[in-house]
Amino acid sequence: MKIVGIAACTAGIAHTYIAKEKLIKAAQQAGHEICMETQGTIGRQDELSAEKINEADVVIIAADVKVSGKERFEGKKIIEIPTEIVIRAPKKLIKRVENLIDEANQVQS
């Protein structure tokens, strides 16, 4: 599975980067490709390319604040979740995403 996403917390510092790293680690351990953008007080970092977004099966927005650029994900499956939940249980989140994608694929079959 290919995952893209955005991490953003209220201050744009600690939780943003912790959520990003935990999601990347959990996704990679489960055998998935993942690219995460961060948004915060210093702006966007690791901005997602149109190519990465197009290739993605799902978008995860781990945010406690409004993120910019959500229109880039139009037509994609989007999961929005607070950074705190991502930080506490990243593997459970990845499992949930896998189940959602599996269910969506079964419906399409």
Domain boundaries, the chain: 2-108
* Amino acid 104: pLDDT: 80
CA pair distance 10, 24, nearest whole angstrom: 20
CA pair distance 19, 36, nearest whole angstrom: 10
Identity at 87, one-letter amino acid code: I
* Amino acid 40: pLDDT: 87
CB neighbour list of residue 10: distance below 8 Å, 6 or more residues apart:
64, 65
CATH class of 2-108: alpha beta
Which residues are known to be catalytic? 9
Which of 30, 45, 18 lies closest to 93 in space, CA to CA? 30
Which of 59, 14, 19, 22 lies closest to 41 in space, CA to CA? 14
* Tens-binned pLDDT, residue by residue, of the chain (109 aa): 999 999 999 876 799 999 999 999 999 999 999 999 999 888 899 999 999 999 999 999 999 999 999 999 999 999 999 999 999 999 999 999 999 888 887 877 6
